[in-house]
Amino acid sequence: MHMRDASTNRGRTDRPWRWFCVLAVTLTAPAAGQTIVLDAMQAELARSMAALGQEEVRPYFLSYEITQLRNFSASASFGALRSSNETTQRTLDIDLRVGDHELDNTRRAGDSGRSPFRNFRRLQIPVEDDPDSIRSILWVETDRHYRRAVQQLTQVRMDVQVKVQAEDPSPDFSREPASSVVEDEEPISVDPGEWELKVRRYSAPFAEHGDIYHGSASLNAETETRWFANSEGSRIRTSATTYRLVVSANTKADDGMELPLHKTYLSFTPEGVPDDDIVDRDVRRMIEILLALRDAPLVDPYTGPAILSGQASGVFFHEILGHRLEGHRLKDADDSHTFREQLNQKVLPESFSVHFDPTRRPLKPTTSRGQLPLPQSGIAVHRVTVIDEGIPRNFLMSRSSLAGFPNSNGHRRKQPGMRPVARHSYLIVEVADPLASDELKARFPAAIKAEDKPFGLRFDAFEGGLTFTGRFLPNVFNVTPLLVYRIYPDGRQELVRGVDLIGTPLTTLSRIVAADNQIDVFNGHCSAESGSVPVADFWS
């Protein structure tokens, strides 16, 4: 099961406003060119490979990755400051493999209950750039990983002897060229007092309405810096800062149904966060919608014409396609392999193509969470066309080979502490002959009449969704709408609630007939075997 979600903040108080002097704060990074952490990692990697190379069972691959998260956040609820803090933490990940590229200790075989996707242990390490401390921890953890890997390889070899031939006998680990990229570490430039005032201001209007039970705002600035080195010669340091504002509110209908609403703004710079007037306007609009939702009618189960906004379309395609195009799933006997038999067969109209391009900037002034312009886990990222003119042609690949797809295409991703697999990044849906937005909407009543339905549905916003790809579970997706309107044949519209969008992927794809020319993007986080990773779904 794979899920995307949005958090809801809670709490309420009537504390009065306070005004005070504030000072700007910069969470500084090391000087440009300083590579103490990376140098320590490489030195210990060389020592470990030489020492373990004397053992009877030798490692054929070893990598170290240290991820540092430097964060400042402030949150408020109903106009009262709830939290304001700075944190810095570092996490160590080690990938040590024994055996060889064809078969190694990470293979999932037999019924041992061991999974290569299991989070064995999230190891936090000191945040100081002390080479001796870093190397000491790496030495201890490498030894622990080596001993476990040897035990795993013994189990794998036993399993392979008694197991029937695998559906896909491709190598466990592909051979890839080394990468070398060293970026400067980015700072976080924030004014804590100003941000605290902003979140109090943005959340305060919700306190004016007794029917709104949760109303909050949070600002978060985070720099993620990753140091990576492996035995193939890769040497990488990447660093990126994001600024994120989230406004959330919640009400209930008289029948007890929870009715949430969220608004998220994302930027790579503090200047990219919208100004107060824009956020104030959006908050007032959220309040209007929430109060209207309380009185909106429920919709009974319905099958018929539907139209989706750009952001809603992005979430929709993520849940239908995203995980089913991740190549490692096609080596899992328990997965449904939705698109394995659909390669080179039409699944969408010829005008539709789908790409994953983590190097591409959006075509509008917005920020994408799925951008990965530099190597991940030592592998360069690049554009992958998975559906070309309606026909599936490719899969997202990590370093777990697949018949016909022997190498990675740069989509090996993970949350710190997890084992990487092929994951969704920046999904782009391109349509060769889109309609003007007004024309698409104008055609909708005719489609409703053609199917002899009393109404159609327009989906304006989704909260998230989930999907099942397993062979022994229903191969379905379910996305959760926030804003849905009932559209009547005469053009009237009515806000409704209680709608879920549920379907099976191939059937749903076959019913898509047209798209408009509005460009939009949905940013979020996606959770699966390798943890929670930022993603973007782009409709163009």
Please give the CATH superfamily to which domain 10-23+185-295 belongs: PmbA/TldD superfamily (3.30.2290.10)
Residues whose CB falls within 8 Å of the CB of residue 341, separated by 6 or more in sequence, listed in order: none
| Residue 72: pLDDT band with limits 50, 70, 90 | very high
Decide if 500 contacts 476 (C-beta within 8 A): no
In this predicted structure, what is the pLDDT of residue 110? 45
In this predicted structure, what is the pLDDT of residue 371? 52
Selection from 392, 378, 428, 427 nearest residue 526 by Cα: 427
pLDDT in tens, 44-53: 999 999 999 9
Task: Report the chain's mean pLDDT, rounded to a whole number.
Answer: 85
- Judge whether residue 160 has pLDDT over 60: yes
Decide if 521 contacts 292 (C-beta within 8 A): no
- What average pLDDT does this structure show over 292-308? 92
One-character DSSP codes across 355-375: EE-TTPPPSSS---TT---S-
Lowest-pLDDT range, 108-112, 259-263, 477-481, 500-504? 108-112
What are the Cα distances from residue 326, in Å, to 16, 200, 288, 424, 425? 51, 42, 40, 7, 11
In this predicted structure, what is the pLDDT of residue 229? 97
Decide if 528 contacts 418 (C-beta within 8 A): no
- What average pLDDT does this structure show over 57-75? 97
| Residue 9: pLDDT band with limits 50, 70, 90 | very low
| Residue 471: pLDDT band with limits 50, 70, 90 | confident
| Residue 8: pLDDT band with limits 50, 70, 90 | very low
Task: Give the helix/strand (H/E) hosting 160.
Answer: helix 131-162
Decide if 77 contacts 11 (C-beta within 8 A): yes
In this predicted structure, what is the pLDDT of residue 30? 53
- What average pLDDT does this structure show over 358-366? 56
| Residue 302: pLDDT band with limits 50, 70, 90 | confident
Angle formed at CA 266 by CA 265 and CA 267, multiple of 5 degrees: 135
Selection from 367, 359, 426 nearest residue 396 by Cα: 426
- What average pLDDT does this structure show over 338-353? 91
Decide if 195 contacts 276 (C-beta within 8 A): no
In this predicted structure, what is the pLDDT of residue 112? 39
Lowest-pLDDT range, 18-22, 71-75, 176-180, 221-225? 18-22
- What average pLDDT does this structure show over 367-394? 77
d(CA 370, CA 361): 10
- Judge whether residue 364 has pLDDT over 80: no
Q: What is the dihedral of CA 314, 315, 316, 320, to 10 degrees?
A: 110
- Judge whether residue 474 has pLDDT over 70: yes
- What average pLDDT does this structure show over 444-471? 88
- What average pLDDT does this structure show over 434-444? 89
| Residue 13: pLDDT band with limits 50, 70, 90 | very low
- What average pLDDT does this structure show over 336-354? 90
Whole-structure pTM value: 0.85
In this structure, the number of other CB atoms found within 10 A of the CB of residue 343 comes to: 13
Ranked by mean pLDDT, which of 64-73, 265-274, 395-404 comes out on top? 64-73
Decide if 75 contacts 226 (C-beta within 8 A): no
In this predicted structure, what is the pLDDT of residue 426? 84
204: DSSP letter: G
Query: In this structure, what token pair is assigned to residue 495?
Result: 């806000």
Regarding predicted confidence, which is higher, 293 or 438?
Answer: 293
| Residue 139: pLDDT band with limits 50, 70, 90 | very high
Quickly tell me which residue has 């070893």 as its tokens: 62
538: DSSP letter: E
pLDDT in tens, 30-45: 554 579 999 999 999 9
**Amino acid type, 323:** H
**Amino acid type, 234:** S
Decide if 356 contacts 384 (C-beta within 8 A): yes
- Judge whether residue 162 has pLDDT over 60: yes
Regarding predicted confidence, which is higher, 534 or 146?
Answer: 146
- Judge whether residue 514 has pLDDT over 80: yes
Pairing of strands 531-539, 426-431: parallel
- What average pLDDT does this structure show over 366-385? 68
Decide if 285 contacts 261 (C-beta within 8 A): no
In this predicted structure, what is the pLDDT of residue 46? 98
d(CA 130, CA 83): 31
Decide if 478 contacts 469 (C-beta within 8 A): no
| Residue 539: pLDDT band with limits 50, 70, 90 | low
d(CA 497, CA 485): 8
Q: Which segments of the chain belong to CATH 3.30.2290.10?
A: 10-23+185-295
d(CA 168, CA 330): 8
pLDDT in tens, 78-123: 999 999 999 999 999 999 999 999 999 998 754 433 444 444 567 9
Rounded to the nearest 10 degrees, the angle between the axes of helix 131-162 and helix 36-52 is: 50
Angle formed at CA 333 by CA 328 and CA 337, multiple of 5 degrees: 60
Decide if 356 contacts 383 (C-beta within 8 A): yes
In this predicted structure, what is the pLDDT of residue 537? 65
